[in-house]
Structure 1
Amino acid sequence: MKSLMILLPLMAVASCVQAAEKAKDSPYSGSAQLGYFYSKSDSTSTSLNTRLKFGYQGEEVGSNLDFQTFYTKSSGDSSTNKYTLTNVNNYNLTERQYLFGRLQYDHDLYGAFRQKVTGSAGYGVRIVKTDASSLTFDIGPGYRFSEEQKASDGSSGERESEMIGHAGLKGDHKFSDTLEIGANLMTDAGEKNTVSTAEFNLKNTLIGNLALVLSTQYIYTDRVPEGQSNDEVFNSINLSYGF
């Protein structure tokens, strides 16, 4: 079996160190990730995933935008074409406490649900906040709209909307200037359905702003259409450029 993994850098390595120095004190931040995988034996498989993050954190107000895509294509029946757009805003009440608003849109051509829109707002607290570690918890009410995949006859899938309760726990720890880990646990629970997500990542800085990121995302949906799996798992190895 022939297998080839190609990780493509997003910008010239020569400018990474200079860019890092300029961005240290800026309230703005961002990163771009790209990963590609190709394998060929009796069947052919291609995978491409990307992620873009933009953030702003002032003394009182902060905002983060996260756009993520997963695409796989194989010569068999297995395919994935999914993207997620998330926007989280916060308003600091104190150094440790804040209010948040969160909006997420999911579009998936092959999963149990073709699209989902989830919004929530509430209260959060920074449990741990040091130079090396952080841990935050937030909770609040929300609302979710979801639409199942189209039926075999081409008709639209079932749609549902409901009030939900949101809870999230997010943390990271920096072991050194070049190695850090992070985790993000979240659940949106409603009377009709509950969706829970766990995401873990390991980041190893190579040079300047260029890093290698290993991540895994697990999504469990309590109620899915007949014949669909409750579990979704996305693993990726990406090159990341921070700015």
Structure 2
Amino acid sequence: MKKTVTVLGTLLLSSRAFALVPPDYQDPPSDFRAEIEAGLQINTGNTESTSFNGRTKLVYDTRKAKQEAVIKGYYASDSEETTAEKYELQLQSNYKISPGYVFGRGDFSWDQFGSYTHQSTMSIGYGFDAISSYKTKLSLEIGPGYRYSQPIDSVDDPSPEAKSDVILRTAAKFEQRLHEYTSFGADLTGEIGEENTTVTLDMGLKSILFQDWAFKIGVNVRYTEVVPAGSEQIDTISTFNLLYTFQ
């Protein structure tokens, strides 16, 4: 009799626990999301070179606000010296209103071999979602800002003075889901100033391999209207990375 009561009690408790936690239960979606991607290339033999690039994106999205941080790094070297070294930090805070959002943003870059070794841009403005569906997303932003730029040393000007400029920043952020496992994204940003104008296009094609892992091909093209003597106006970076997403 005691054994029977014990078995019945165990079954009763198990059924209650099963009712409280059904088999298809999933944790509620998190407000936090992160992406980490990296790519490494090493060449040996006739060509001795190494290149590495990495990117981390952190997003905290709530009902009233959205915080976003992006960190990027690029490095390349051959058998004799470093040939490329660049780091970028992007911070943006959105406060949601109806419709759209107001934002504050900071862009910072350090490029040892670029036409400008250091650039800082601070901007504020207004943005809104022009398209927001499951397959297609498009947001537009506009606002004033301030840019500080330090030109690279050159033979003509071994100690160049830093330049500052009031700018108008415009941006378009586009994302298209091609099918369930593949998506395409493109960010186009323009900074129009009296002293200088820059246009940056950042594109990426992402294909999910399994679960939270994906393969991503990216291209970053930056055009700078006014550059120091001996520098190119267009800088291009191509990446082939493995990406991991968690939330």
- TM superposition score normalised by structure 1: 0.86
Provide Cα deviations, 1:181-237, integer angstroms capped at 9, x if missing partner. Answer: 100000111011111100110000111111101000000000000001011000000
**Structure 1 partner of 2:76:** 72
3-state SS of 1:181 partner: strand
**CA distance in 2: counterparts of 1:41 and 1:112, whole angstroms:** 32
Q: Pick from 98, 101, 104: which aligns with 1:98?
A: 101
The yes-or-no answer on 1:194 pairing with 2:194 is no
1:43 touches 1:76 (CA, 8 Å); kept in 2?
no
**CA distance in 2: counterparts of 1:59 and 1:160, whole angstroms:** 39
3-state SS of 2:134 partner: coil
**Structure 2 partner of 1:238:** 241
Q: How does 1:147-226 map to 2 (within 5 A)?
A: 147-151=150-154, 156-226=159-229
| Count of residue correspondences | 222
2:37 touches 2:241 (CA, 8 Å); kept in 1?
yes
**Structure 2 partner of 1:44:** 48
2:132 maps to amino acid: K
The yes-or-no answer on 1:33 pairing with 2:37 is yes
Runs of at least 5 residues in structure 2 that lack an aligned partner in the other structure = 1-24
2:169 touches 2:189 (CA, 8 Å); kept in 1?
yes
Q: Percent identity?
A: 28
2:52 maps to amino acid: L
2:132 touches 2:138 (CA, 8 Å); kept in 1?
yes
Runs of at least 5 residues in structure 1 that lack an aligned partner in the other structure = 1-20
3-state SS of 1:228 partner: coil
Indicate the RMSD between aligned Cα atoms, in angstroms.
Answer: 2.0
* Bigger relative contact order (CA 8 A; separation at least 6): 1
3-state SS of 1:111 partner: coil
Q: Which moved more, 1:22-31 or 1:204-213?
A: 22-31
Larger Rg: 2
Cα displacement (A) at 1:120: 0.8
Q: How has the CA–CA distance of structure 1 residues 134 and 73 changed in structure 2, closer, same or farther, with 3 Å as cutoff?
A: same
**CA distance in 1: counterparts of 2:42 and 2:180, whole angstroms:** 32
